[in-house]
Amino acid sequence: MHELVTSFRDSLENMDRVGAENIFRQALNTLTPIKAVEQVVVPALEAIGDAWESGDIALSQVYMSGRFCEQLVDQSLPPSDPDRKHQPRSAIVVLSDYHMLGKRIVYSVMRASGFELFDYGRMDVDELVERAIADKLRVLLISVLILPSALKVRQVCDRLKAANVPIKVMVGGAPFMFDEQMWRDVGADAMGRNAAEAVSIVNAWMGEMQ
Amino acid sequence: MNSMQRTLTALGQKEADRVPLFLLTTLHGAKELNLSIEDYFSCAEHVIEGQLQLLKKYRSDCLYGFFYASIEIEAWGGSTIYLPDGPPLCGPPIIKTRSDIDSLQAPGVAASKPLARVLETLRGLKARVGDTVPIIGVAISPFSLPIMQMGFDRYLELLFEDRARFERLMEINIEFCVEWSNAQLEAGATAICYFDPMSSTTNIPRELYLSTGQQVAKRTLSRIKGATATHMASGRCLPILGDIAETGTAVVGVSALEDLAKLKNAANKRVSLLGNLNAIEMRRWTPAEVELKVKRAIAMAGPGGGFILGENHGEVPWQVPDETLLAIADAVERWGQYPLDWVKDWTDPG
């Protein structure tokens, strides 16, 4: 399986769609779709995320890999598949910001990892808090690029806490990468350094919530 | 030495009287004049006055003619979204579908009112300081401008999926960038800061840079009639520093995510470095932390010249307090005087 993951990751990093698709189909010969996702796609995307964080590969490779895996997984594990359903109600949003790429990458990688989640697009604090409560979310992923937006996460967390709703908040984006203390300062429950780490954290939270 | 002499000496890979300090403050000018950010940037006189006050207050070695990145997009017919406490952001993309590129035309610089405000600012600053202080103009690189023109995700898809339209977009953007840069130099800018975060290895792999961003930079910078500094706007560049030097740029603005000593070694006197204080983190630095960060940066990159101390993004965030910026200036005066005899005996406390 390790070789399969390595080959799949290499194909993704080199934008070799045909190669990646062939490897995924090979995995489907012996695994169910959800197992192929868990044992091939997720580890490859985790490795790609780690490589980006350490500066060994570029954001363009992360984005195109996530987008392609999302399409690949949608073909074999449609959104209505029962295997996707035992998950906490989750959403992803860009908070008070207009830079959408980070959210797009995390959304793709979450879906490529078998998750279904609401895509809230861009929202300000009031709208986000109301919607999160109305949707009975258990997990909220917040993406930002600029510092003022990152600092506004504090308002979201305070309002959710005041409403006494059990939502876990994970943040991600450049300000949190440049100041590793900031996610705690704004009251988040975790920071995802890359999209694959976001998947790992949500997986861990799922375990805690069961 | 005055700021111009200090800077030129450093760029000549020699030691000046002290390490030059480029505090690239923009939004802080609005604070100085007690104006909203939108009001501040609506008038060249505001920015001239703001920059001159900031120069005196923070003892920086440059004036910064930069308003905000999306002012270029305004010239292309786009819009800007103002925030009360952050940099103005770019509105909806002007290129909505790839086929829009087929009929896209670059705007004339002379016809753009927003760009005219910047040119008026540069003329005003030049009239006030002459050749004593470097005045930095800014142009977004033709290779990075599409992030605002069409959105980052669609631009990446274009780059990988439609190379013919990508090339056409580069042709158009290069013409605009050259005209815009030269207009700023004519108005009084000493040099052009060529913002090119797309070329950073944070965003694209080196092989792709060599066939795209580097080629675009070579074609553009060779036609700009003055000195240029390439800025990565917080992105990494260590693996391509030598490749950036080949584009003809004089300075590279580098990231806090990379080791300044390794960058200095890689630069190898081919380019000077600007950086790399962490612009996000500095809002909460104590005076002692400021001193340590400044001291560390100078120890790593100051010896021999070829280094300008600054933050790593190309713009000091609104949230960074006066005390921090003043403490940076104090620390540079204390630890940046050449010769840097203290460096050889200094142990970084970590």
Q: Which CATH number covers residue A9?
A: 1.10.1240.10
pLDDT for B210 beyond 70: yes
Strands (E), B291-344: 307-311
Give yes or no: residues A25 and A109 share one domain.
no
Give yes or no: residues A64 and A111 share one domain.
no
Q: What angle do CA A29, A30, A32 make, to 5 degrees?
A: 95
- In the chain, the amino acid numbered B279 is A
Show which of residues 133-152 on chain A sit within 8 Å of chain B, judged by CB atoms.
146-149, 151
Residues of B in contact with A104 (CB under 8 A): 153
Domain final residue pick, A37, A62, A79: A79
Domain final residue pick, A57, A79, A101: A79
pLDDT for A1 beyond 80: no
Which of A94, A178, A184, A185 has the highest number of chain B CBs within 10 A, making it the mutation to test binding with B? A178
Q: What pLDDT, on the 0 to 100 scale, is given for residue A155?
A: 98
In sequence order, what DSSP letters do the residues of B224-290 get, joined into one string? SSSEEEEE-TT---GGGHHHHHTTT-SEEE--TTS-HHHHHHHHTTSSEEEEEE-TTGGGG--HHHH
pLDDT for B95 beyond 70: yes
Give yes or no: residues A40 and A92 share one domain.
no
- B278:A58 CB<8 A: no
pLDDT for A85 beyond 70: no
Give yes or no: residues A60 and A156 share one domain.
no
Domain residues for A75?
2-79
Give the nearest partner residue to A147 out of B91, B256, B280, using CB atoms. B280
Residues of A in contact with B205 (CB under 8 A): 57-58, 60-61
Q: How confident is the model at residue B203 (pLDDT cuts 50, 70, 90)?
A: very high
Give yes or no: residues A97 and A148 share one domain.
yes
pLDDT for A143 beyond 70: yes
Asked if B152 has any chain A CB less than 8 Å from its own CB, the reply is yes
Domain final residue pick, A79, A95, A116: A79
Whole-prediction pTM value? 0.95
- In the chain, the amino acid numbered B161 is E
Give yes or no: residues A43 and A96 share one domain.
no
Residues of B in contact with A15 (CB under 8 A): 160
Give yes or no: residues A69 and A164 share one domain.
no
Q: Is A208 exposed, middle or buried (0-12, 13-18, 19+ CB in 10 A)?
A: exposed
Asked if A55 has any chain B CB less than 8 Å from its own CB, the reply is yes
Considering its fold, how many domains does chain A have in total? 2
Percent of chain B residues topping a pLDDT of 90? 100
Asked if A30 has any chain B CB less than 8 Å from its own CB, the reply is no
- B284:A61 CB<8 A: no
Mean pLDDT of chain B: 97
Tens digit of pLDDT for each residue in B19-77? Answer: 999 999 999 999 999 999 999 999 999 999 999 999 999 999 999 999 999 999 999 99
Give yes or no: residues A24 and A93 share one domain.
no
Tens digit of pLDDT for each residue in A172-197? Answer: 999 999 999 999 999 999 999 999 99
Distance from CA of B258 to the nearest CA of A (A): 9
- How confident is the model over B174-179, as a mean pLDDT? 98
Dihedral class, residue B81 (left if φ above 0, else alpha if ψ from -120 to 50, else beta): beta
CB A71 within 8 A of CB A107: no
Q: Which CATH number covers residue A175?
A: 3.40.50.280
Q: How confident is the model at residue A76 (pLDDT cuts 50, 70, 90)?
A: confident
Quote the ipTM score.
0.91
Q: What pLDDT, on the 0 to 100 scale, is given for residue B36?
A: 98
Which of B147, B156, B211 has the highest number of chain A CBs within 10 A, making it the mutation to test binding with A? B156
The closest of A163, A150, A196, A206 to A51, measured between CA atoms, is A196
Q: How confident is the model at residue B350 (pLDDT cuts 50, 70, 90)?
A: confident
Give yes or no: residues A139 and A158 share one domain.
yes
Lowest mean pLDDT among A73-82, B83-92, B128-137: A73-82
Give yes or no: residues A148 and A103 share one domain.
yes
Give the nearest partner residue to A98 out of B89, B281, B319, using CB atoms. B89
Tens digit of pLDDT for each residue in A120-134? Answer: 999 999 999 999 999
Give yes or no: residues A39 and A129 share one domain.
no
Q: How confident is the model at residue A53 (pLDDT cuts 50, 70, 90)?
A: confident
Considering its fold, how many domains does chain B have in total? 1
Tens digit of pLDDT for each residue in B299-323? Answer: 999 999 999 999 999 999 999 999 9
Tens digit of pLDDT for each residue in B215-272? Answer: 999 999 999 999 999 999 999 999 999 999 999 999 999 999 999 999 999 999 999 9
Q: What pLDDT, on the 0 to 100 scale, is given for residue B18?
A: 98
Tens digit of pLDDT for each residue in A88-97? Answer: 999 999 999 8
- A58:B234 CB<8 A: no
Give the nearest partner residue to A147 out of B151, B204, B319, using CB atoms. B319
Domain residues for B105?
3-345
Tens digit of pLDDT for each residue in B124-144? Answer: 999 999 999 999 999 999 999
- B87:A146 CB<8 A: yes
Residue B350 belongs to a domain: no
Percent of chain B residues topping a pLDDT of 70? 100
Q: Which CATH number covers residue B141?
A: 3.20.20.210
Q: How confident is the model at residue B280 (pLDDT cuts 50, 70, 90)?
A: very high
Asked if A104 has any chain B CB less than 8 Å from its own CB, the reply is yes
Residues of B in contact with A151 (CB under 8 A): 319
Asked if A100 has any chain B CB less than 8 Å from its own CB, the reply is yes
pLDDT for B326 beyond 80: yes
Residue B177 belongs to a domain: yes
Asked if B82 has any chain A CB less than 8 Å from its own CB, the reply is no
The closest of B184, B193, B198, B204 to B275, measured between CA atoms, is B193
Residues of A in contact with B213 (CB under 8 A): none
Q: What pLDDT, on the 0 to 100 scale, is given for residue B281?
A: 97
Give yes or no: residues A174 and A126 share one domain.
yes
